[in-house]
Structure 1
Amino acid sequence: MVDSSSLSTRFTLHQLEAFVWTARLGTVHAAARHLHLTQPAISHRIRDLEEELGIQLFERQSQRLLVTELGRNVLVYAERVLASAQDMARLDLRRTITGLVRMGVDESCAIIGMPQILKEIKDSYPALRVDLTVGGGAQLLQKINSHELDMALHTGQSSQPDVTSQFIGLTEHQWVAAHDLMMPDGDFLPAHALNHRIVCNAPPSTLHESASRWLASDGYSFEEYSSCNSLSLMVALVASGHAIAMLPASITRRQVAEKSLQVLRAKPAVPNVPYYFSYLAHHRSDTTARILEIVLRNLQDAGFFHADGSSRDSGRG
């Protein structure tokens, strides 16, 4: 039991935040990257919170930290406190964040996170209108460079001086095939891929570039493929056994779990792809920051990013 006499207001929101994100991400290292802090700072805050509460919050298992039984009780309340603090911080912003935001997202983000992201934006800032454009990364990059969009979520990085491209995580690409499609045992090599019909986005696209580079790593070229501009249709075509494809892992996770798709053990491994939040540098900073906060929280909760790519570094393209 937690001694109620110790529950003075001596513990802080920063301590609760360190505890919650370490619990969510499983390591102090990941929590530190997410919160833009050092690992010692996170460890210190958790240790201080444990001393204030008089309990152990974590136990180590292999390379991860697991929340203890008492810690799980604390976690419920800590998340409520942080959510209430965020709601309080938004009280004025609900009235001051208004107008129209022209927002572009690629299809993988649209499939995985946009319904919840748009709902949270509407609930948090009812006077803010979002005009959504879904397109390929190259198309979105062109639109934000020409100021047709105010912000975009995509795999591209702008080189325009008036557009800021902030790295927000890594996305994972995988070769997939129908679960019952007979494939060679062991590693899946570029030579194996050319024995099957391949479905892929047409260039210029990130998927086409990723697949081309992977084939070229073993001296092969991407000569014949079925062109498709819909990731959802590509998933269906692969699941039906019509073709194989390289696809974002986030949009095939359910089909792999249901065993309608199998992940092929690609050799060489397919590199993870950087993902960016690009925005016009002159756009309202408060609006941009609040939308980015909502986007990151929902995409992370949905498992959109690769586990080792949740850090956020900002940079100008």
Structure 2
Amino acid sequence: MVDSSSLSTRFTLHQLEAFVWTARLGTVHAAARHLHLTQPAISHRIRDLEEELGIQLFERQSQRLLVTELGRNVLVYAERVLASAQDMARLDLRRTITGLVRLGVDESCAIIGMPQILKEIKDSYPALRVDLTVGGGAQLLQKINSHELDIALHTGQSSQPDVTSQFIGLTEHQWVAAHDLMMPDGDFLPAHALNHRIVCNAPPSTLHESASRWLASDGYSFEEYSSCNSLSLMVALVASGHAIAMLPASITRRQVAEKSLQVLRAKPAVPNVPYYFSYLAHHRSDMTARILDIVLRNLHYAGFFQAEGSS
């Protein structure tokens, strides 16, 4: 139990931040990368917080750190403290961050995180207007490169000198089929995929590129497929048994849990896909940093990214 006499207190917001982000992301490495600190700095802050509270906050399981039972109680209050601190920091910014931001996101991000992200932006900065564009990764990259967007959330990295693409996480792609569709036992191989109708985005798209590379790893070309530009419709088509597909794991998690979809054990494994927060370099500002913070917090909570150290 935490000694109430210690709450006079010498723990800091930096220590709480290190603890909270390590708990959210599962490793010191991931928290350090997110907070732009070294791993020893994160470890030191967590150790100091544990000494101050007199409890162990984490226990190691395989390559991940899991929050202990006492640590989970601390986590609730730590998140409240950090949220209050962020609210205080936003008091003046609510008035000073104004104007229009042109924000582009791909469909998977739109499905998983945008309702809450847009709500938090509106609640935090009511004078800021958001013009939202939903499109494919290649389309968003083209738009921000041509300055038609201020910020984009997408796969693919811009090589334009006036666009900064900041890596923010890895997204997982997986082959899925209807739960009651008879599939081979064991590993799902490229040869097996070609025995079924496949539905996929048309090129240029990240999903098409991922599927093409996976099939090519065993010498097959990706030529025959049903083209669809809607991830939501693709999920429905797969669940109905019309086709199989490679899809972002984040948008099929509910259907897999409800047993309308099954995840196929692909061999070779499908590589994770880097995800980026891109912005016009000359627009770097408090607004950009605040939107990035809102995006990261909500996408991590929604399980959009693959957890560090998982496979």
TM superposition score normalised by structure 1: 0.93
Distance 1:285 1:230, change over 3 A: same
- Answer yes or no: is the 8 Å Cα contact 2:177–2:244 preserved in 1: yes
- Answer yes or no: is the 8 Å Cα contact 1:178–1:238 preserved in 2: yes
State how far apart, in whole Å, the 2-side matches of 1:144 and 1:26 are: 32
Distance 1:219 1:185, change over 3 A: same
Q: Please say if 1:98 is aligned against 2:98.
A: yes
Q: Find the counterpart in structure 2 of residue 126 from structure 1.
A: 126
Distance 1:269 1:141, change over 3 A: same
State how far apart, in whole Å, the 1-side matches of 2:241 and 2:294 are: 37
| Partner SS, residue 7 of structure 1 | helix
Q: How big is the alpha-carbon RMSD for the aligned residues of Structure 1 and Structure 2? A: 1.8
Distance 1:42 1:261, change over 3 A: same
Distance 1:159 1:24, change over 3 A: closer
| Partner SS, residue 174 of structure 1 | strand
- Answer yes or no: is the 8 Å Cα contact 2:171–2:248 preserved in 1: yes
Distance 1:69 1:172, change over 3 A: closer
Q: Return the offset for 1:6.
A: 1.8
Q: Find the counterpart in structure 2 of residue 54 from structure 1.
A: 54
- Answer yes or no: is the 8 Å Cα contact 1:151–1:277 preserved in 2: yes
Q: Return the offset for 1:57.
A: 2.5
Q: Find the counterpart in structure 2 of residue 3 from structure 1.
A: 3
- Answer yes or no: is the 8 Å Cα contact 1:177–1:239 preserved in 2: yes
Q: Return the offset for 1:61.
A: 4.1
State how far apart, in whole Å, the 1-side matches of 2:38 and 2:63 are: 18
State how far apart, in whole Å, the 2-side matches of 1:168 and 1:62 are: 24
| Partner SS, residue 154 of structure 1 | strand
Deviates more, 1:76-85 or 1:35-44: 35-44
Cα deviation 1:180-233 (Å, max 9, x = unaligned): 101111111111111100000011111111111111111111111100000000
Deviates more, 1:235-244 or 1:27-36: 27-36
Deviates more, 1:119-128 or 1:267-276: 267-276
- Answer yes or no: is the 8 Å Cα contact 2:64–2:309 preserved in 1: no
Deviates more, 1:247-256 or 1:20-29: 20-29
State how far apart, in whole Å, the 1-side matches of 2:282 and 2:39 are: 34
State how far apart, in whole Å, the 2-side matches of 1:58 and 1:135 are: 40
- Answer yes or no: is the 8 Å Cα contact 2:26–2:308 preserved in 1: no
Q: Return the offset for 1:255.
A: 0.5
Deviates more, 1:162-171 or 1:28-37: 28-37
Distance 1:275 1:309, change over 3 A: farther
- Answer yes or no: is the 8 Å Cα contact 1:171–1:309 preserved in 2: no
| Partner SS, residue 188 of structure 2 | coil
State how far apart, in whole Å, the 2-side matches of 1:264 and 1:101 are: 40
- Answer yes or no: is the 8 Å Cα contact 2:155–2:275 preserved in 1: yes
Cα deviation 1:26-68 (Å, max 9, x = unaligned): 3333333332222322222122122222233333444443333
State how far apart, in whole Å, the 2-side matches of 1:157 and 1:179 are: 35
| Partner SS, residue 282 of structure 1 | helix
Distance 1:248 1:69, change over 3 A: closer
State how far apart, in whole Å, the 1-side matches of 2:210 and 2:262 are: 19
Cα deviation 1:57-106 (Å, max 9, x = unaligned): 33344444333333333222211111111111111111111000111111
| Partner SS, residue 283 of structure 2 | coil
Cα deviation 1:94-149 (Å, max 9, x = unaligned): 11110001111110000000000000000000000000000111111111111111
State how far apart, in whole Å, the 1-side matches of 2:212 and 2:255 are: 24
State how far apart, in whole Å, the 1-side matches of 2:227 and 2:293 are: 35
Cα deviation 1:251-279 (Å, max 9, x = unaligned): 00111111110111111111111111111
Distance 1:164 1:223, change over 3 A: same
Distance 1:62 1:124, change over 3 A: same
- Answer yes or no: is the 8 Å Cα contact 2:170–2:275 preserved in 1: yes
- Answer yes or no: is the 8 Å Cα contact 1:169–1:310 preserved in 2: no
Alignment: residue pair count: 311
State how far apart, in whole Å, the 1-side matches of 2:293 and 2:76 are: 21
- Answer yes or no: is the 8 Å Cα contact 1:168–1:310 preserved in 2: no
State how far apart, in whole Å, the 2-side matches of 1:276 and 1:60 are: 29
Distance 1:258 1:203, change over 3 A: same
Distance 1:308 1:70, change over 3 A: closer
% identical aligned pairs:
97
Runs of at least 5 residues in structure 1 that lack an aligned partner in the other structure: 312-317
